[in-house]
RNA sequence: GUGGCGGUAGCUCAGUCGGUAGAGCUCCGGGUUGUGGUCCCGGUGGUCGCGGGUUCGAGUCCCGUCCGCCACCCCA
């Protein structure tokens, strides 16, 4: 039986690398421009890290984690997201002792078990950018602006930024209680789906309103709004985030029912929706997580960050007609059948040592085939190596006969 | 995880009523040409996703399974 890539995984083949490199290169450049430094964490962590931060009731923990025990019976989990691991690393290496905030980013694969589809993978890549150690609303805005800039730089223009504040431990619990009680009072008017949410994740009951039956929508619209229950500190913080976004010229839509899937979020939350229809249009999501570090045993430490799905960003880029130049070499050596190949191979080595990308034929091609291959390789210079001399062919120039002894000097000069 | 649609060459696809597998592109060779493009000729390439069933005979019909896509759920 033929072996295939595991369900929900995919190879990133050479033909796709230029576009990937353009995207990840742009990510690295923009992160560096704003003072974010790269960090890399293990592919797997102690299961407890994700259970405690994402929340035992979250979809990710309940049904999407790749959890296994190793040979020593430790419970380990392939990371479903990068924020918690980065916060763990922040603690592990005592980064709270260094100047705050610590501005960090990573580009890495994430793992979530779920039914795959277009733009939805069990192994997928994310850019994750985090600012840990400051509750300055300017950071929330900076991160949003950073991703907004990335999209613009890549010429992706069809997208929407959804923004909300979901409060903090001072104000949210009271609201959740109020909402639950209010909805419970009208439970008979709700559909089973919404009643289920009421039990597991009351905030989510208000989410995705448009998809619910009209009668249910009516009830939910009349429910108490989260925005009206925010404490003064959260109101002030959110106002500052919005004012900064306005100042930076970042357009957003306030979505009072926007709730994120992980328990660690506080205050600011946001999502970037891409141009593609369908359920997998979220290309980035993020928010503030002021209680996360404390949850995993650190001192009370604020933080804010986002994750962005690279495969989904690529779909958006494709939709916008984005492309990238294929990789090319500099010099191709076409070797005639009765020419001294060892000599050509030595030239190859010398060229490469001099930093010139050079290649030749290894497939026993005919001379015509080798020249075709030279064209494919993108080489601007081709050397046709004959038995006693060579012909130098530069793009757009006339052929130039050369003695073997002069080939290297001409190419290197 | 639930429901629906699909799977034939590396890619895009055709394959009639069930009768022993096809095209274009790609790739390789030859001719033409300005030694690479164009054009012409030829060739390589297949466990018809996999397994079972029905049948004299299955790419084709039936069941199962794997994978993909769409809609839910949820997200990146």
Per-residue pLDDT reduced to its tens digit, A230-257: 999 999 999 999 999 999 999 999 998 8
What topology is assigned to A331-412 in CATH?
A: Rossmann fold (3.40.50)
Cis preceding-peptide flag for A259 (omega within 30 of 0): no
Nearest residue to B35, CA vs C1'? A368
Q: Strand B closer than 7 Å to the CB of A15?
A: no
Q: Strand B closer than 7 Å to the CB of A152?
A: no
Residue A92 near residue A45 (C-beta atoms within 8 A): no
Q: Strand B closer than 7 Å to the CB of A279?
A: yes
Residue A220 has pLDDT above 90, yes or no: no
Nucleotide minimizing C1' to CA distance for residue A58: B74
Q: Strand B closer than 7 Å to the CB of A115?
A: yes
| pLDDT tens digit sequence for A8-41 | 999 999 999 999 999 999 999 999 999 999 999 9
Q: What does the alpha-carbon distance between residue A77 and residue A224 come to, in Å, rounded to a whole number? A: 38
**Residue A196 vs residue A20, higher pLDDT:** A20
Q: How far is CA A367 from the centre of its chain?
A: 45
Residue A291 near residue A135 (C-beta atoms within 8 A): no
Please return the burial class of A77, using the count of CB atoms within 10 Å of its CB with bins 0-12, 13-18 and 19+: buried
At A260, is the pLDDT very low, low, confident or very high (cuts 50, 70, 90)? Answer: confident
Judged by average pLDDT, the poorest of A30-34, A184-188, A234-238, A375-379 is: A184-188
Residue A1 has pLDDT above 60, yes or no: no
Which range, A208-212, A324-328, A402-406, has the best average confidence (pLDDT)? Answer: A402-406
Q: What does the alpha-carbon distance between residue A380 and residue A407 come to, in Å, rounded to a whole number? A: 16
Residue A340 has pLDDT above 60, yes or no: yes
What's the angle, vertex CA A400, arms to CA A399 and CA A405, rounded to 5?
Answer: 145
Q: Strand B closer than 7 Å to the CB of A311?
A: yes
Q: What does the alpha-carbon distance between residue A359 and residue A378 come to, in Å, rounded to a whole number? A: 11
Q: Which residues contact residue A372 at a Cβ distance below 8 angstroms, ignoring those fewer than 6 apart?
A: A365
Q: Which residues contact residue A126 at a Cβ distance below 8 angstroms, ignoring those fewer than 6 apart?
A: A81, A82, A107, A108, A109, A110, A307, A308, A309, A310
Nearest residue to B66, CA vs C1'? A7
How many CB atoms are closer than 10 A to CB A222? 10
Q: What does the alpha-carbon distance between residue A379 and residue A208 come to, in Å, rounded to a whole number? A: 53
Chain position carrying tokens 């089973």: A192
Q: What are the residue boundaries of the structural domains of chain A, listed by start?
A: 14-171+230-319, 331-412
| Bases in strand B with any atom closer than 7 Å to a protein CB | 1-3, 27-33, 35-37, 47, 49-50, 66-76
Kindly report the average pLDDT of chain A as a whole number: 93
Q: State both tokens at A218.
A: 């009516």
| pLDDT tens digit sequence for A93-129 | 999 999 999 999 999 999 999 999 999 999 999 999 9
Q: What does the alpha-carbon distance between residue A21 and residue A16 come to, in Å, rounded to a whole number? A: 9
pLDDT at A204: 82
Q: Strand B closer than 7 Å to the CB of A47?
A: no
Q: State both tokens at A111.
A: 């793992």
Q: What percent of chain A has pLDDT over 70?
A: 100
Residues 116-135 of A with CB under 7 A from strand B: 116-122, 124, 126
End-to-end CA distance of chain A: 54
Cα-flanking dihedrals φ and ψ of residue A275, to 5°? -80, -20
Residue A325 near residue A18 (C-beta atoms within 8 A): yes
pLDDT at A299: 97
Q: What does the alpha-carbon distance between residue A37 and residue A14 come to, in Å, rounded to a whole number? A: 27
> In the sheet that A389-394 helps form, which strands lie side by side, from edge to edge?
A358-360, A331-335, A381-385, A389-394, A400-403
HEC string of chain A equals CCCCCCCCCCCCCHHHHHHHHHHHHHHHHHHHHCCCEECCCCCEEEHHHHHHHHCCCCHHHHHHCEEEECCCCCEEEECCCCHHHHHHHHHHCCHHHCCCCEEEEEEEEEECCCCCECCECCEEEEEEEEEECCCCHHHHHHHHHHHHHHHHHCCCCCCEEEEEECCCCCCHHHHHHHHHHHHHHCHHHCCHHHHHHHHHCHHHHHCCHHHCCHHHHHHHHHCCCHHHHCCHHHHHHHHHHHHHHHHHCCCCEECCCCCCCCCCCEEEEEEEECCCCCCCCEEEEEEECCCHHHHCCCCCCCEEEEEEEHHHHHHHHHHCCCCCCCCCCCEEEEECCCCCHHHHHHHHHHHHHCCCCEEECCCCCCHHHHHHHHHHHCCCEEEEECCCEEEEEECCCCCEEEEHHHHHHHHHC
Specify the CATH architecture of the domain A14-171+230-319: 2-Layer Sandwich (3.30)
Nucleotide minimizing C1' to CA distance for residue A271: B76
């Amino acid at each position: 039986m033929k072996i295939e890539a595991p369900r929900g995984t995919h190879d990133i083949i050479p033909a796709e690398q230029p576009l990937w490199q353009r995207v990840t290169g742009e990510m690295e450049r923009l992160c560096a421009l704003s003072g974010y430094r790269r960090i890399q964490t293990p592919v797997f962590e102690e299961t407890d890290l994700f259970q405690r931060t994402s929340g035992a009731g979250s979809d990710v923990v309940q049904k999407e984690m790749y959890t296994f025990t190793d040979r020593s019976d430790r419970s380990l989990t392939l990371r479903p997201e990068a924020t918690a691991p980065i916060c763990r690393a922040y603690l592990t290496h005592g980064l709270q002792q260094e100047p705050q905030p610590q501005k960090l980013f990573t580009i890495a694969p994430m793992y979530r078990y779920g039914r795959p589809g277009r733009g939805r993978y069990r192994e997928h890549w994310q850019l994750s950018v985090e600012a840990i150690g400051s509750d300055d609303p300017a950071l929330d805005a900076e991160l949003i602006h950073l991703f907004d800039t990335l999209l613009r730089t890549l010429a992706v223009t069809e997208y929407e930024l959804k923004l909300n504040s979901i409060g903090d431990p001072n104000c949210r619990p009271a609201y959740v209680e109020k909402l639950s009680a209010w909805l419970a009072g009208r439970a008979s008017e709700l559909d089973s789906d919404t009643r289920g949410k009421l039990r597991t994740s009351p905030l989510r009951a208000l989410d995705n309103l448009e998809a619910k039956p009209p009668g249910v929508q009516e009830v939910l619209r009349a429910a108490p709004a989260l925005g009206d229950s925010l404490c003064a500190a959260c109101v002030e913080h959110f106002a500052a985030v919005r004012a900064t976004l306005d100042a930076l010229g970042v357009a957003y839509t306030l979505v009072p029912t926007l709730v994120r899937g992980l328990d660690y979020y506080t205050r600011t939350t946001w999502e970037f929706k891409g141009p593609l229809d369908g359920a997998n249009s979220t290309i980035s999501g993020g928010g503030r997580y002021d209680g996360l570090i404390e949850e995993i045993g650190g001192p009370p430490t604020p933080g804010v960050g986002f994750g962005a799905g690279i495969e989904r960003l690529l779909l958006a880029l494709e939709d916008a007609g984005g492309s990238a130049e294929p990789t090319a070499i500099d010099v191709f050596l076409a070797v005639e059948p009765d020419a001294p190949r060892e000599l050509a191979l030595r030239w190859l080595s010398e060229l490469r040592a001099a930093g010139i990308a050079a290649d030749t034929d290894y497939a026993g091609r005919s001379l015509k085939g080798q020249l075709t291959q030279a064209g494919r390789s993108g080489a601007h210079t081709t050397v046709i190596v004959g038995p006693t001399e060579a012909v130098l062919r530069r793009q757009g120039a006339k052929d130039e006969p050369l003695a073997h002894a002069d080939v290297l000097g001409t190419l290197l000069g």
